[in-house]
Amino acid sequence: MPPFLDCPVCHSKMEPTPLKVCPECNYHHRLEANERIALLVDEGSFKEFKPELSSQNPIDLEGYGEKLRLSQEKAQLKEAVVTGECTIEGLKAILAVMSFDFMGGSMGGVVGEMITRAMLEGVNQRTPVIICTASGGARMQEGIFSLMQMAKTACAAAQLEQAKVPLFIVLTHPTTGGVTASFAMLGDVILAEPGALIGFAGPRVIEGTIGEKLPEGFQRSEFQLERGFVDAVVPRDALRQTLTFLIKTHRRENGKKE
């Protein structure tokens, strides 16, 4: 029997369902990568890419290797993103899902490479790319190499654009830093789950700069919708249906009558 989920907002307890959305206050609990994949794709259709890549310690930072090993054990993942191909309502898609449980979803060389490869696979197969983000930003433990992953993923987004292959972004809680400032803001359509924190600088950094508390709701999905930086805030139970609609409406044969 899986444990009850405690809602951090309204403090009510819920039995875990695949959606993990609080029935009282609509709080969206964090999903693990495999849970999100199960929620979005046609059953049994997900073929993971599983590239033979493992994070090195490019700036020889003390303790990073150990930290990686522990994170792999804890999250039961090799890295902070899972990529693969799948079908959604029978429609082909390339899917990348980031995992906040793995070192805060931070983007180092491997995460950047896997996301880049997923996008380029979209270019090769002329297949829409969906990326579900959850990240604190660039992985500082990899120094300048993590910063350069922003350039790399943004460049891959440019290649998708040149090939006219759609990129759909699903922003989930939280998405900040170098991920926000690269591929996460480069989708043709950008969706966000309700209540997700989405921004470049983290709230504590901003509070440190301005010396006061930020208003409630600052940098949340609804705030970003109002400011014009996301196309729609989509509740989790409507995500699959929304993505299906988007894949259908972004096909090349659009505009030609059936």
Q: Position of tokens 């805060």? A: 104
Contact between 61 and another protein per CB under 8 A: yes
* Count of H-run helices and E-run strands, the chain: 8, 9
Residue from 71, 135, 172, 219 touching another protein (CB under 8 A): that is: 219
CB 114 within 8 A of CB 53: yes
Contact between 213 and another protein per CB under 8 A: no
- Cβ neighbors of 202 (< 8 A, separation 6 or more) are 136, 176, 177
Among 10-18, 41-49, 81-89, 158-166, the segment contacting another protein (CB under 8 A): 158-166
Q: Distance between CA atoms of 250 and 165, rounded to whole angstroms? A: 8
Contact between 49 and another protein per CB under 8 A: no
Residue whose CB is less far from another protein, 22 or 185? 185
Contact between 201 and another protein per CB under 8 A: yes
Contact between 148 and another protein per CB under 8 A: yes
30-36: list long-range contacts, CB under 8 Å, 24+ apart: 30/100, 30/101, 30/134, 30/172, 30/173, 31/172, 32/75, 32/99, 32/101, 33/77, 33/81, 33/82, 33/97, 33/98, 33/99, 34/82, 36/97, 36/132, 36/172
Q: Distance between CA atoms of 87 and 127, rounded to whole angstroms? A: 11
Contact between 200 and another protein per CB under 8 A: yes
Minimum distance, C-beta of residue 130 to another protein, in the bound complex (Å)? 18
Q: How many residues lie near another protein (CB under 8 A)?
A: 59
Tell me which residues in 72-131 interact with another protein (CB under 8 A).
Answer: 108-110, 112-113, 116
Residue from 71, 135, 141, 221 touching another protein (CB under 8 A): that is: 141
Contact between 166 and another protein per CB under 8 A: no
Q: How open is the CA angle 227-231-236, to the nearest 5 degrees?
A: 115
Binding mask 24-43 for another protein (x = CB under 8 A): --------------------
Contact between 14 and another protein per CB under 8 A: no
Q: How many CB atoms lie within 10 A of CB 170?
A: 29
Q: How many CB atoms lie within 10 A of CB 212?
A: 8
Contact between 5 and another protein per CB under 8 A: no
Minimum distance, C-beta of residue 118 to another protein, in the bound complex (Å)? 14
Site residues for another protein per CB under 8 A: 53-56, 58-62, 108-110, 112-113, 116, 138, 140-152, 154-159, 161-162, 177-178, 180-186, 199-201, 205-206, 209-210, 214, 218-219, 227-229
